[in-house]
Structure 1
Amino acid sequence: MHISEGIITGLPALGYTAVAIGLTAVGAKKMKDFITENPEKKPLLAMGGAFIFLLSLIPIPAFTGTCSHPAGSPLAAILLGPWIGLTLTAMSLFLQAAFFAHGGFSTWGANVITLGVGGAFCGWLAFKA
């Protein structure tokens, strides 16, 4: 579930964002290398990003009056690797904050860490176990 805009502010928001930008930059480099080594997998990469984006737009009502949503990060990480799953999640979260008011820009870093790092790396590790 996205952390709503304004829940995390100030220095914690900046800290999360700085860490998320660093992790996303590492993932973007790995994504570029992946595309260079596997140009035939560009459609899979695009579908992974679209899958994460669309799946997280499906609301599931929660008992507290809020709603949650399914996460596509684990499947993208299983198919493409955890760093690429993280980067696709970061890109998806940015677009969702910009166009659908899901999450927000002040909480983007925290959302990347919880949904991207948590979803992609934990899903990938569980699959490998």
Structure 2
Amino acid sequence: MMNKGHLHQIHPILPVQDVVEALKYYVNKLGFSIAFADDSKNPTYAGIRRDDVEIHLQRHDVSEWESGFNAAMLRIVTQNIDDLFEEYKAQEVFHKNTSLKETAWQTREFAFYDLYKNGLTFYTDI
């Protein structure tokens, strides 16, 4: 009998215009730490980590953004969602309509966009 493949983790890559600015945002506002960077002074690719989640950030040229480049949307499974909501609220990263709500699909969640319009949704199953 063959062993079945097992998916263990995913490391999504978010497009950003400036990796240094994105790192500052994720570290200072969202509580991530820097896992790695391809260059210590002017990175074009870097990874950030918080708890069991690792996200990679990749520089994309400004011309790509001007041509209607679509940014990513992430859904991140979260524990202690009320505490995380309050933490990010205090960091003033939310849009004025951001709220923590229960959904028809049985989750409790909130969502907002990062500096480069990548959508971040944090949720927990009810």
Q: When the two structures are superposed, what TM-score results if normalisation uses the length of structure 1?
A: 0.25
Greater helix percent: which structure? Answer: 1
Q: When the two structures are superposed, what TM-score results if normalisation uses the length of structure 2?
A: 0.25
1 or 2 for the larger relative contact order (CA 8 Å, sep ≥6)? 1
Greater strand percent: which structure? Answer: 2
Name which one, 1 or 2, has greater alpha-carbon Rg. Answer: 2
